[in-house]
Amino acid sequence: MVDLKGQYQKIKERIDTSVLEVIESSAFVNGPEVHAFQKELEGYLDVNHVIPCANGTDALQIAMMGLGLQPGDEVITADFTFAATVEVIALLHLTPVLVDVDPVNFNIDIEAIKKAITPKTKAIVPVHLFGMAANMDAIMDLAKEHDLYVIEDNAQGIGATYTGRDGKKVKTGGIGHVGTTSFFPSKNLGCYGDGGAIFTNDDELAHTIRGIVNHGMYKRYHHDVVGVNSRLDSIQATVLRAKLPHLDTYNSARRDAARKYTEAFMNQEKIITPVICDSCDCHVFHQYTLRLKDTDRDALVAHLQKKQIPCGVYYPIPLHKQKAYQDDRYNEADFPVTNQLVQDVISLPMHTELDDEQIAFITSTIIDFVNK
């Protein structure tokens, strides 16, 4: 699904040198590399504050702690996403409210959010799923109207640009009150281990969060709030510093691969390709995900495996049906899209090193199968 080795080969010299420098310096935690990366990412995203942390799941949890959400507060998020988003809501004893998604862009459905808002709702967590920016104008409008926080889960969307209705272009993750991301190796900006970050333009929230990631300490050995230990280490930071200048090139390589896939699937009635916007960079193709019609998806998965073509099903089970997150409050009639998508979707290999020959082989194998 990804080719991390091919990508490494192209920046090997820089990575090897800087990783060895970190080892020589022995500044493994909170060293100058972490600070430098923080500043560079603030510049790239055009946000006032980046707070690095240990992974994308922690980033979500810490963002919610920083906002002061309290047990019983309701947090609305998408039913069709990775479990980390709902997991931290539950861990903090907040009440997850899962809602359906849009069938075209796979992101949280605005009408479904409206229906789910109650007097207990405190926050909305849109996920820029598969790298496609959610409809942030509508989400920010709802948040304003109902006095809610917006936490953008940007783990799959780093580098995407959202064009607001006023024409202003903003990087995803910097639109809501707070944004989070993951630097897991397979993400669009991945390190060589675990890593994550929280972003915000709010000075006070940034200060709160900087304490939370460090055991709730604002002054050495004075613990003002209950915190956690969540740090990005210097080796990961130096890898990220080597890769950040290439992020836009990496994302455009992904977009080029997506265009080629889509071109190959043109006029295929059983294959619905993802939205590709020609006029903007709202999609960074963390995944290239098809919907299949009148096709046995699982049989196609088995066929591709036999042909040694990697593929993935993101995600095979709606969150509201997961054992950990089931709840009597949910009504199946409220999840028609997610319930269908989990049966229809398939994600194809997507990374920065895909070549035309690979794309031709993958697409022709799929086209032959669905038309057989």
Q: Which residues are catalytic?
A: 187
Q: Is 56 in the site for ligand PLP (CB under 6 A)?
A: yes
Amino acid (one-letter) located at 314: Y
Q: Is 55 in the site for ligand PLP (CB under 6 A)?
A: yes
Q: Which of 61, 107, 156, 289 binds ligand PLP (CB under 6 A)?
A: 156
Q: Is 179 in the site for ligand PLP (CB under 6 A)?
A: no
Rounded Cα distance, 359 and 11, in Å: 24
Q: Is 352 in the site for ligand PLP (CB under 6 A)?
A: no
Rounded Cα distance, 272 and 282, in Å: 19
Q: Which of 50, 155, 198, 292 binds ligand PLP (CB under 6 A)?
A: 155
Q: Find the helix or strand (DSSP H, E) in which 5 lies.
A: helix 4-25
Q: Is 127 in the site for ligand PLP (CB under 6 A)?
A: yes
Q: Is 57 in the site for ligand PLP (CB under 6 A)?
A: yes
Interface with ligand PLP: number of residues (CB under 6 A): 15
Q: Which of 7, 18, 77, 85 binds ligand PLP (CB under 6 A)?
A: 85
Give the SS3 label for residue 299.
Answer: helix
Q: Which of 18, 172, 182, 236 binds ligand PLP (CB under 6 A)?
A: 182
**Cβ 139 vs Cβ 113: under 8 Å:** yes
Q: Among residues 245, 326, 238, 225, which one has the least CA distance to residue 16? A: 238
Amino acid (one-letter) located at 63: A
Q: Which of 8, 184, 218, 369 binds ligand PLP (CB under 6 A)?
A: 184
Q: Is 157 in the site for ligand PLP (CB under 6 A)?
A: no
Structure-block tokens of residue 157:
């969307």
CB of 227 to ligand PLP, least distance (A): 18
Give the SS3 label for residue 56.
Answer: helix
Q: Is 347 in the site for ligand PLP (CB under 6 A)?
A: no
Q: Is 107 in the site for ligand PLP (CB under 6 A)?
A: no
CB of 295 to ligand PLP, least distance (A): 26
Q: Could you tell me how far CA 13 lies from the centroid of its own chain?
A: 29
> Whose Cβ is closer to ligand PLP: residue 190's or residue 349's?
190
Query: Which region, judged by CB under 6 A, interacts with ligand PLP, from 153-161, 227-235, 262-270, 327-335?
Result: 153-161
Q: Which of 37, 80, 82, 106 binds ligand PLP (CB under 6 A)?
A: 82
Q: Is 318 in the site for ligand PLP (CB under 6 A)?
A: no
Alpha-carbon Rg of the chain, whole angstroms?
21
Q: Is 84 in the site for ligand PLP (CB under 6 A)?
A: yes
Q: Which of 66, 131, 196, 211 binds ligand PLP (CB under 6 A)?
A: 196
Amino acid (one-letter) located at 284: V
Angle between helices 356-370 and 247-264 (to 10 degrees): 40
Q: Is 350 in the site for ligand PLP (CB under 6 A)?
A: no
Rounded Cα distance, 39 and 318, in Å: 37
**Cβ 253 vs Cβ 259: under 8 Å:** no
CB of 59 to ligand PLP, least distance (A): 7
> Whose Cβ is closer to ligand PLP: residue 74's or residue 153's?
153
> Whose Cβ is closer to ligand PLP: residue 57's or residue 208's?
57
Q: Is 230 in the site for ligand PLP (CB under 6 A)?
A: no
| Start-to-end C-alpha separation, the chain | 25
> Whose Cβ is closer to ligand PLP: residue 33's or residue 194's?
194
One DSSP character per residue, 270-299 reads TEEPPP--SS---B--SSEEEEESSS-HHH
CB of 147 to ligand PLP, least distance (A): 25
Cis amide leading into 162 (omega within 30)? no
HEC secondary structure over 77-114 = EECCCCCHHHHHHHHCCCEEEEECECCCCCCECHHHHH
Site residues, ligand PLP (CB under 6 A):
55-57, 81-82, 84-85, 127, 153, 155-156, 182, 184, 194, 196
